[in-house]
Amino acid sequence: MRRHVQRKAWAGRFADASHPAVEAFTSSLAFDKRLALYDIQGSVAHCRMLVKQKILTRAEGEKILKGLDSIKQELQRGTFPFLPSDEDIHMAIERRLMEKLGPVGGKLHTARSRNDQVLLDVRLYLRDEIAAIQRLCQSLQRQLVRLAKRHAGTVMPGYTHLQRAQPVLLAHHLLAYYEMLERDRARLQQCSERVNVLPLGAGALAGTTLPIDRHYVARLLRFPRVSENSLDTVADRDFVVEFLAACAILAMHLSRLAEELVLWASSEFAFIELPDAFATGSSMMPQKKNPDVPELVRGKTGRVYGNLFALLTVLKGLPLSYNRDLQEDKEPLFDTVDTVKGVLGVLTAMLPHVTFRTDRLREAARGGFLLATDVAEYLVEKGMPFRRAHEIVGKVVRWCLEEDKQLEELSLAEWRRFSPLFEADLLGRLTPEAAVDRRRSYGGTARVQVQRRLRAIGEGK
């Protein structure tokens, strides 16, 4: 069979065709295909500008716009004929335009280089994806709020060092993740402002001799700003790095949530029951119900971190301005977009079906000296310096350990052996619920504080 050899855009300068190994090695088509519709969108705006500036005639512009529209339909229907010789999506679309229009198709690339074109595509793409990821964060936040409202009175142990520390509300614990996601959304928003800058018109690296109007293109494509330095424009991938970094932090948050779900689903904790539809069995051990979904959420964080490092490493040491190394920005970017969207989607779907074992949670918050700080703060209220109070309660705890007793079980007479400041009102305080509700400091775990936060969230604050 005769290999179909497509003439390259740069064939004028070259005596020989590309080696097939080079074609395969340098091609980005397999992954930058996903930019196709953004490439068309950018070309439409570019073409309009060329007509407005009289660089193209109105008739030429109309032909090109029609050609682009029919290519768009082929792309949407999945009938666009990709060729192995198409080096990237930009060349594929331009080649198709020439097939449809003949030489006039070759006028679209006037005053444009793939170096600024590819950035336009990526910026348009990323702008949409950031908005989509922000919406997914919001859906997950909504599920956390719903669960928090459902568990407005459920107490559980709060931990430091993975040791039971003080009782907290389950709602407070869940809303901690709400706050993380709130920061993630804000970070993505800030990143989006730096994505939203028009690169087109930087040309290959130095601008163009032709009388283009970059600000007009920016208006057509709703870019609030136009980039300032053509060299910087074609070399810059900061906005991708920032996005990958924001996603790395987001993935880290989701991984911490996933880790807690894994722990809580274990028989050791038994705080939650995972829904069957989101768990998997073992091929060998019939009794197993494994938390594979949160485990994969945790595991996929590795590639999201890796993508950030891959791009930083590509950029390190690149001289100005464009270098082909920069093509390596896309796979990490696309992989992070897909991974983060997948993780957010599955967590949002799973969370409403997780059963919290409120009896187990409360039981774990009782005993175990979780109320020791409360007793020390009781003595402080009676006028004792905190350090002294800390020491006295430490002694009570040691005595309880020796006598195999819990703080909640001591009689007033026993308490008074350690300090005459203990009075009958102490005993009523020694429940997890009372301990929670006394932590009324702003942002604390008391029901009034958690309710205040839930109200503010409801009002969009």
**Active-site residue, selected from the candidate residues 4, 27, 255, 282:** 282
Name the burial class of residue 110, with classes exposed (0-12), middle (13-18) and buried (19+) by CB atoms within 10 angstroms of its CB: middle
Q: Does 114 bind ligand ARG (CB under 6 A)?
A: yes
Nearer to ligand ARG, 96 or 114 (CB): 114
Segment interacting with ligand ARG (CB under 6 A) among 3-11, 76-84, 113-121, 449-457: 113-121
Q: Does 326 bind ligand ARG (CB under 6 A)?
A: yes
Residues 336-355 that bind ligand ARG (CB under 6 A): none
Residues 24-53 that bind ligand ARG (CB under 6 A): 28
Q: Does 316 bind ligand ARG (CB under 6 A)?
A: no
Q: Can you tell me which of 324, 387, 411, 413 binds ligand ARG, judged by CB under 6 A? A: 324
Nearer to ligand ARG, 87 or 437 (CB): 87
| Minimum distance, C-beta of residue 113 to ligand ARG, in the bound complex (Å) | 7
Q: Can you tell me which of 39, 60, 86, 88 binds ligand ARG, judged by CB under 6 A? A: 88
Question: 190-229 mask for ligand ARG (x: CB under 6 A)?
Answer: ----------------------------------------
Residue 161 a catalytic site member: yes
| Minimum distance, C-beta of residue 263 to ligand ARG, in the bound complex (Å) | 43
Q: Can you tell me which of 41, 85, 327, 339 binds ligand ARG, judged by CB under 6 A? A: 327
Q: Can you tell me which of 50, 71, 108, 118 binds ligand ARG, judged by CB under 6 A? A: 118
Q: Can you tell me which of 18, 115, 192, 255 binds ligand ARG, judged by CB under 6 A? A: 115
Residue 282 a catalytic site member: yes
Beta carbons within 10 angstroms of residue 22's beta carbon: 11
Nearer to ligand ARG, 165 or 204 (CB): 204
| Minimum distance, C-beta of residue 122 to ligand ARG, in the bound complex (Å) | 8
Nearer to ligand ARG, 118 or 248 (CB): 118
With contacts defined by CB under 6 A, how many residues of the chain interact with ligand ARG? 9
**Active-site residue, selected from the candidate residues 4, 161, 267, 411:** 161
Q: Does 362 bind ligand ARG (CB under 6 A)?
A: no
Binding site for ligand ARG (CB under 6 A): 28, 88, 114-115, 118, 322, 324, 326-327
Active site residues: 161, 282
